[in-house]
Amino acid sequence: MLTTEKLRQENSADGVSRRALLTGGLATGFLLAFHLPLRAASYAVNEPVQPADVTAGKFAPNAFIRIDETGNTTLIMPQVEMGQGTYTSISMILAEELDADWTKVALLHAPPNDKLYGNPTFGLQVTGNSNSIRAWWKPLRTAGASARAMLVQAAAAEWQVDPASCTTSRGEVTHAASGRKLGYGALALAAQGQTPPKDVPLKDPKDFVYIGQPLKRLDTPEKVNGKAVYGIDALLPDMKFATVAACPVFGGKVAKVDDTAAQKVPGVRKIVVLDDTVAVIGDHMWAAKKGLAALKIEWDEGPNARIGSKEIWQHLRAASEKDGAVAKSVGDIAKGLATGDKFEASFEMPFLAHASMEPINATIHVKPDSCEVWTGTQIASRVQSEAAKAAGLPVEKVIVNNHLLGGGFGRKLEPDMVVAAVKIAKQVDYPVKVVWTREEDIQHDVYRPVYRDTVTATLVDGKVAAWKYKVAGSAVLARWLPPAFQKGIDIDAVDAAVDAPYDIPNFHVEYVRAEPPAVPTGFWRGVGPNNNVFAVECAMDELARKAGKDPVEFRRAMLANKPRALAVLNTAAEKANWGQPLPPRVGRGVCLQPSFETFIATVVEAEIDELGEVAVRRVVSVVDTGIAVNPDTVKAQIEGGLIFGLTAALYGEITIDKGRVQQSNFHDYRMLRIDQTPKIEVHVVKSGEPPGGIGEAGVNAGPPALRNAILAATGVALRRMPIDRSLIAMGKKA
Amino acid sequence: MATTLTINGEQKSFDAPPEMPLLWVLRDILGMTGTKFGCGIAQCGACTVHIDGKAVRSCVLPVSAVRDRAVTTIEAVGNSPAGAKVQKAWLDLEVIQCGYCQSGQIMAAAALLAATPNPDDSDIDAAMAGNICRCGTYVRIREAIKQAASGRQS
C-alpha cells in the first residue's frame, strides 16, 4: 500500500526536491531556499519539516545569520509570516547592515527558543501587536552590522590592511587601494574566528540600499502555484485525519457519546472523547466528518447555558458605569468638565471572530518519549511548552515545526488547538492531522472582546477643553501575559486612548476591567486601538458638529504639537478632495490615529441610500510610519487592513444565545467581497523616524472613518458597531 | 470503490466513497495540498479548481460527479496561457499576503480570462465575488486581472 507521502511525491507538480532547490536556485536567480514551505519530497517521520539550523562549517556570528563557504546566506526568522510581509522586511533589515547579496538569501523559521528568538518587547516568541519591525529594528541591524564587521576583520587580516580601509557591498569585501576583493563565502571560516566588535556602528539611513526599496516578497512565488505549505498541509507517512466537535456551550462538557453509527462509517478509525470535545479520526477528513455527524453526543452544558448577548451587554453596561483605574490624567478633569458645553456618548463594539482563511489545525505525532507538532503559530515557544504539558513530556522532548500561516489575526496567539490535538493524538500511535471545520473554528474562537467606551467632554470656544474617556472591556493581557497587567490597567485596551494626538488641557483616561460572562476573549487584528480609535474619532466628529466646525478643521486646531499627525491629516484631506461638493447622500468621514507608533489619516467616502444600505466608494489613507522598510508592503498592509476593518464595520458581530455562538460560517459571518471593495489609495509619507507598526493600523481606520462618512451623509450618529442599517433608514439624527 | 480521474492531464486511481468531495480526495488521498479548505459550503472559493476549464468549488463536488471531465488544480494552472498570465501578474503586482485563498483566486481568475479575455469591472465582480480574501487583497486582484488581460508589464 502506498503511503500518503509516497502519493504526495508522485503528485508533486514538478518533483523538485529540497536539495535541488538549495543547490540549483530558481529561475528568478534567487536562491530562495525557502526550506520550510517547500514540498518536502523526502522527509521521513522523524525528520523535521525544515532542515536543522546547521552552524558547523559556516560563519554563524549570531542567532540570525549563517553564511556557508559558497556565500549562501541563510537568515533565521524570529517572527512568523502570516501575510504581513515580515519575512521580507526582516530579511531586508539583516541584509542591509550585513551588506548581503540579496540574491543569495534563503530563509529558515526560528525553532522555539525564547532566549535566542524571543521578541524583545515580550521576552518570548510572539508575532503580534504590529511590533515585529519595531522590536527587531535595532537588534537585527546590530546583528547584521556586527557580522559584517567580522567579515571585514577577516578580510583585513588576510590582506594585512586596516579594516577601516575596506568596504562592503552585495556580499563582498573590497580593499579599494589594492583592488582586492573577497566574497563572504570565501571569508566565512576566517570570519567565524573573529571577535565580534563592541558598539558596532550602524549605517546612516542615507546609505541604505535595501531598506526603503519596494523589493519583491520572498514568500510569494510559491504561493501562486500551490507549493507553499501551511500548517494544514502537513503530510506524513501513515497519518490519519481528525475533526472535532467541542461542546457548543462555552464551558460545557461531554456527558455521553453513542458511537454505534459512527463506528460503521467507512474510513472511521477511532472516536476520541475528551473532557469537552469529541474527535473522530479517519482515513481522510471526509470520513472524520461523516463519522462526527453520525455520533450521538449528549452535552453537559454547564452553568453558561442561560447566557445570551442580552446578559453580556447588561453586564458590560453596568460595569462601564463604575469608576475605572486611571491610565492617564493631565490637567484637572473635574474642573474641566464643570464648565463649557457638555457632550457625553458611549460607543459599543461587538464580539468578533478571527476567521482566518486557514481554519485552525495542528498535526501531532505522540510517541512514548516525544511529541512532534506541525502547525502555523504566532507563539512557537508557548506552543512547545503547552504541547509538552498536554503530552506529559519535558519541553525538550517536543519538536515544533512552524509553518506559513494562512492568516493569523491573533487567533494563532493561542495554543488551544495544539493542546486539543495533542490530547487526541495521545490516544493513537500514528500521526494525526486535526482540522477544525469552519463552523467549529468560528464557534470556538477566542473573540475580540465587547467594549463599551464612554467619552465625556466639554467644548470651550469651539475646542475640546476637557476629555474623560473610559474604556470598559476584557483585559486580554491579564490572561495572556499576566505580568503586563499592572494596577488594574490593560495597557493594550487603552493603548491609543492614552496616545490620542489632540492637545486637550484636561485629559483623562480610565479603564474598567469587565470580563464577559461565558465567552473567551483574545487579541484580534488591530487589538486595543480598534476600540480606542473608534471611540475617539467618533466622539471628535460629534464634538465638531456640536461646535459647528468642519471635522478636519476641528481636529487640525488641536494638533499644533503633533506635526506628524497634522501633516498626514492635511495630506489626506487634500488627496481625498475634502470639502469639495458631493452628490446627495454621499459623505466623507475622517479618522486620525496614532496607533502602533504610526500616524495615519484616512478619509472614507460612502453613499448611503434611503433604506440604509451603505456603499463605500473610495478610501484615501496617508501613512507616516517612519522609515518604511518595504514601502510596497506598507501600502499592502494598509489596503488589506482597511478591508478588514470595513468588513467588521459593515458585517462583523458574533452574538450569543443559550451560551452558544449563533454564527457558523461565511454565510452568516460575512466578509467584504471584491464587488463591494472601494477604490483604495494609500500614500506613504517619506520619513526618517524609526519604523512604526503597520500590520494592524489599517484595521483601526475603517470603522470610524466609515461611521463618520455616514454621519456626514445622513446626520445619523451611529454609536455601535457593526453599522445598523435600520437606524440609518429611520434617519435618527445625532 | 476504485475511481479514476484525469487530474492535471494524468490518470489518477484511488478508492473513495462516491459522495466524497473532490477537495478531500485531492488533499487527503492524493496529497495535492495546493487546493485549500476554507468553509466546506461553497461560500469562500478557497477550494476552486477547474472542471473542463470552468471554475468549480471542489468542497461540495462529489467525486463521482466528475467522471471523465478534466480536473485542473493550482499545481498545473500555470500550464495554460491564461493561468500563466495570472500567476505572473499576481507576482508583478505583489497581490499576495498570507496566500491561503490565492490558489482559489488564481483558479477563478484564470477561468475568467480563458472565457472572457478582456473582462471589465462587472465581469471581474461576477467571476471573483465568490472568493473571499481575509487579508483584503481585492484591490490588487482586480488590477492584476486587468494586467494579465492586457498583457502589459508592471
For residue range A155-177, what is the model confidence (pLDDT) as tens digits?
999 999 999 999 999 999 999 99
- The predicted structure's pLDDT at residue A208: 98
State yes or no: pLDDT of A46 exceeds 80.
Answer: no
- The predicted structure's pLDDT at residue A36: 37
Rg (CA), chain B: 15
- Of the candidates B34, B99, B139, the beta carbon closest to that of A220 is on B99
Distance between CA atoms of residues A16 and A36, nearest Å? 14
State yes or no: pLDDT of A183 exceeds 60.
Answer: yes
Cβ–Cβ contact A1 with B under 8 A: no
B55 shares a domain with B29: yes
Cβ–Cβ contact B138 with A under 8 A: yes
Rg (CA), chain A: 27
State yes or no: pLDDT of A24 exceeds 70.
Answer: no
pLDDT grade, residue A387 (50/70/90)? Answer: very high
CA nearest to B95 within chain A: A636
A454 shares a domain with A394: no
- Decide which of A435, A460, A484 is a domain's last residue: A435
User: Residue type at A307?
Assistant: I
A536 burial class (0-12, 13-18, 19+ CB within 10 angstroms)?
Answer: buried
User: Of all helices (H) and strands (E), which one includes residue A107?
Assistant: strand A105-109
B94 shares a domain with B32: no
- The predicted structure's pLDDT at residue A90: 98
For an interface test with B, give the residue of A4, A9, A11 to mutate (most B CBs within 10 A).
Answer: A11
Beta strands A73-77 and A65-67, pairing class: antiparallel
CATH number of the domain where residue A676 is located: 3.30.365.10
Q: How high is the mean pLDDT of chain A?
A: 93
- The predicted structure's pLDDT at residue A28: 30
Mean pLDDT computed over A533-544: 98
- Of the candidates B32, B37, B106, the beta carbon closest to that of A224 is on B106
A710 shares a domain with A665: yes
- The predicted structure's pLDDT at residue A2: 30
**A231-267 CB burial, b ≥16 within 10 A, e <16:** bbbbbbeebbbbbbbbbbbbbbebeebebeebeebeb
ipTM: 0.98
CA nearest to B20 within chain A: A286
A175 shares a domain with A56: yes
For an interface test with B, give the residue of A222, A436, A632, A674 to mutate (most B CBs within 10 A).
Answer: A674
Question: Distances in Å between the alpha carbon of A266 and those of A2, A181, A270, A283, B13?
Answer: 19, 67, 11, 9, 18
- The predicted structure's pLDDT at residue A132: 97
- The predicted structure's pLDDT at residue A9: 40
Mean pLDDT computed over A33-42: 34
- The predicted structure's pLDDT at residue A49: 53
Cβ–Cβ contact A284 with B under 8 A: yes
User: Residue type at A164?
Assistant: A
Of A608 and A732, the structure prediction assigns the larger pLDDT to A608
pLDDT grade, residue A732 (50/70/90)? Answer: confident
Distance between CA atoms of residues A60 and A358, nearest Å? 35
Cβ–Cβ contact B37 with A under 8 A: yes
Query: At A531, is the secondary structure helix, strand, or coil?
Result: helix
- Of the candidates A640, A644, A667, the beta carbon closest to that of B43 is on A667
A536 shares a domain with A402: no
Distance between CA atoms of residues A60 and A74, nearest Å? 10
CATH number of the domain where residue B25 is located: 3.10.20.30
Query: At A559, is the secondary structure helix, strand, or coil?
Result: coil
For residue range A330-352, what is the model confidence (pLDDT) as tens digits?
999 999 999 999 999 999 999 99
- The predicted structure's pLDDT at residue A50: 62
A residues 594-653 closer than 8 Å to B (CB): 632, 636-637, 639-644, 647
Longest dimension (CA), chain B: 50
**How close is the nearest chain B Cα to the Cα of A413, in Å?**
16
State yes or no: pLDDT of A104 exceeds 60.
Answer: yes
Cis peptide before B117 (omega within 30 of 0): no
- The predicted structure's pLDDT at residue A733: 73
Cβ–Cβ contact B43 with A under 8 A: yes
Contact A674, A640 (CB under 8 A): no
pLDDT grade, residue A17 (50/70/90)? Answer: very low
Name the residue with cell 476593518: A645
pLDDT grade, residue B151 (50/70/90)? Answer: confident
Cβ–Cβ contact B62 with A under 8 A: no
Mean pLDDT computed over A86-106: 97
B145 shares a domain with B82: yes
- The predicted structure's pLDDT at residue A51: 67
pLDDT grade, residue B1 (50/70/90)? Answer: low
For an interface test with A, give the residue of B79, B90, B134 to mutate (most A CBs within 10 A).
Answer: B134
Of A733 and A141, the structure prediction assigns the larger pLDDT to A141
Contacts of A266 in chain B (CB under 8 A): 17
A329 shares a domain with A384: no
User: Of all helices (H) and strands (E), which one includes residue A457?
Assistant: strand A451-460
CA nearest to B36 within chain A: A358
For residue A277, the cross-strand partners are A246
Question: Distances in Å between the alpha carbon of A113 and those of A118, A137, A400, A609?
Answer: 7, 19, 10, 55
A535 shares a domain with A400: no
| Contact call for A221 and B91, based on CB within 8 A | yes
State yes or no: pLDDT of A536 exceeds 60.
Answer: yes
CATH number of the domain where residue B130 is located: 1.10.150.120
Distance between CA atoms of residues A84 and B118, nearest Å? 31
B46 shares a domain with B90: no
**How close is the nearest chain A Cα to the Cα of B86, in Å?**
9
- The predicted structure's pLDDT at residue A30: 35
Contact B21, B60 (CB under 8 A): yes
Mean pLDDT computed over A258-284: 98
Contacts of A3 (CB under 8 A, 6+ apart): A237, A238
- Of the candidates B74, B101, B129, the beta carbon closest to that of A226 is on B74
- Decide which of B40, B72, B104 is a domain's last residue: B72
- Decide which of B72, B87, B116 is a domain's last residue: B72
For residue A348, the cross-strand partners are A452, A720
pLDDT grade, residue A477 (50/70/90)? Answer: very high
A271 shares a domain with A208: no
**How close is the nearest chain B Cα to the Cα of A227, in Å?**
6
Neighbouring C-beta atoms of residue A209, cutoff 10 Å: 14
B residues 108-127 closer than 8 Å to A (CB): 124-126
State yes or no: pLDDT of A372 exceeds 50.
Answer: yes
Cβ–Cβ contact A5 with B under 8 A: yes
A581 shares a domain with A486: yes
- Of the candidates B30, B96, B141, the beta carbon closest to that of A674 is on B141
Contacts of A486 (CB under 8 A, 6+ apart): none
Name the residue with cell 495570472: B86
Mean pLDDT computed over A679-700: 97
- Decide which of B26, B55, B72 is a domain's last residue: B72
**How close is the nearest chain A Cα to the Cα of B68, in Å?**
19
Q: How high is the mean pLDDT of chain B?
A: 96
Mean pLDDT computed over A672-688: 97
Split into its structural domains, chain A has a count of: 3
- The predicted structure's pLDDT at residue A631: 98
Q: Where are the alpha helices (DSSP H) in A230-375?
A: 260-263, 285-294, 309-320, 333-338
Signed CA dihedral, A209, A215, A217, A222: sign only = negative
Signed CA dihedral, B26, B28, B31, B33: sign only = positive
| Contact call for B36 and A357, based on CB within 8 A | yes
Contact A277, A390 (CB under 8 A): no
For residue range A560-597, what is the model confidence (pLDDT) as tens digits?
999 999 999 999 999 999 999 999 999 999 999 999 99
User: Residue type at A218?
Assistant: L
Mean pLDDT computed over A454-471: 97
A546 shares a domain with A400: no
- Decide which of A435, A467, A482 is a domain's last residue: A435
Secondary structure letter of residue A520 according to DSSP: -
Mean pLDDT computed over A438-452: 98
For residue A623, the cross-strand partners are A600, A684
For an interface test with A, give the residue of B39, B131, B145 to mutate (most A CBs within 10 A).
Answer: B39
Q: Where are the alpha helices (DSSP H) in A548-677?
A: 551-556, 563-575, 631-651
For residue A489 the three cell numbers come to 490597567
Q: Where are the beta strands (DSSP E) in A198-276?
A: 240-246, 253-258, 268-273
For residue A432 the three cell numbers come to 494525526
CA nearest to A648 within chain B: B134
Own/partner long-range contacts of A44-48 (Cβ < 8 Å, ≥24 apart): A44/A237, A45/A236, A45/A237, A45/A238, A45/A365, A45/A431, A46/A372, A48/A372, A48/A399, A48/A401
Supply the range of the domain harboring residue B42: 2-72
A457 shares a domain with A332: yes
pLDDT grade, residue A52 (50/70/90)? Answer: confident
- Of the candidates A666, A667, A675, the beta carbon closest to that of B129 is on A675
For an interface test with A, give the residue of B3, B19, B33 to mutate (most A CBs within 10 A).
Answer: B33
For residue A692 the three cell numbers come to 512604526
For an interface test with A, give the residue of B23, B71, B100 to mutate (most A CBs within 10 A).
Answer: B100
Supply the range of the domain harboring residue A384: 231-302+360-435
- The predicted structure's pLDDT at residue A42: 29
Distance between CA atoms of residues A272 and A259, nearest Å? 10
State yes or no: pLDDT of A54 exceeds 90.
Answer: no
A500 shares a domain with A419: no
State yes or no: pLDDT of A47 exceeds 50.
Answer: no
Contact A465, A386 (CB under 8 A): no
Kindly state whether residue A440 falls inside one of the protein's structural domains. no
- The predicted structure's pLDDT at residue B153: 53
Neighbouring C-beta atoms of residue B120, cutoff 10 Å: 10
User: Residue type at A32?
Assistant: L
- Decide which of A204, A223, A242 is a domain's last residue: A223
Contacts of B110 in chain A (CB under 8 A): none
Cis peptide before A722 (omega within 30 of 0): yes
B93 shares a domain with B43: no
Kindly state whether residue A251 falls inside one of the protein's structural domains. yes
For an interface test with A, give the residue of B44, B135, B137, B145 to mutate (most A CBs within 10 A).
Answer: B135
Beta strands A370-375 and A361-367, pairing class: antiparallel
Split into its structural domains, chain B has a count of: 2
Neighbouring C-beta atoms of residue A214, cutoff 10 Å: 15
Beta strands A432-435 and A361-367, pairing class: antiparallel
User: Residue type at A594?
Assistant: P
Q: SS in 3 state form for B75-140? A: CCHHHCHHHHHHHHHHHHCCCCCCCCCHHHHHHHHHHHHHHCCCCCHHHHHHHHCCCCCCCCCHHH
Query: At B128, is the secondary structure helix, strand, or coil?
Result: helix
| Contact call for A407 and B100, based on CB within 8 A | yes
- Of the candidates A285, A355, A674, the beta carbon closest to that of B134 is on A355
| Contact call for B98 and A639, based on CB within 8 A | no
Mean pLDDT computed over A415-431: 98
B residues 64-83 closer than 8 Å to A (CB): 73-78
Mean pLDDT computed over B103-121: 98
State yes or no: pLDDT of A39 exceeds 90.
Answer: no
State yes or no: pLDDT of B9 exceeds 90.
Answer: yes
Mean pLDDT computed over B119-144: 98
Mean pLDDT computed over B147-152: 88
Kindly state whether residue A442 falls inside one of the protein's structural domains. no
- The pLDDT > 70 percentage for chain A reads 93
Contacts of B27 in chain A (CB under 8 A): 233, 285
Secondary structure letter of residue A230 according to DSSP: B
| Contact call for A674 and B124, based on CB within 8 A | yes
B63 shares a domain with B82: no
B residues 14-33 closer than 8 Å to A (CB): 16-17, 20-21, 24-25, 27-33
Contacts of A419 (CB under 8 A, 6+ apart): A386, A387, A389, A390
B88 shares a domain with B59: no
**How close is the nearest chain A Cα to the Cα of B64, in Å?**
14
- The predicted structure's pLDDT at residue A153: 98
pLDDT grade, residue A26 (50/70/90)? Answer: very low
State yes or no: pLDDT of B78 exceeds 80.
Answer: yes
Judged by average pLDDT, the poorest of A623-627, B1-5, B10-14 is B1-5
A635 shares a domain with A703: yes
B83 shares a domain with B100: yes
Of the candidates A599, A596, A589, the one whose C-alpha atom is nearest the C-alpha of residue A527 is A596
Kindly state whether residue A573 falls inside one of the protein's structural domains. yes
For residue A105 the three cell numbers come to 538569501
- The predicted structure's pLDDT at residue A35: 35
Cβ–Cβ contact A404 with B under 8 A: yes
Cβ–Cβ contact B57 with A under 8 A: no
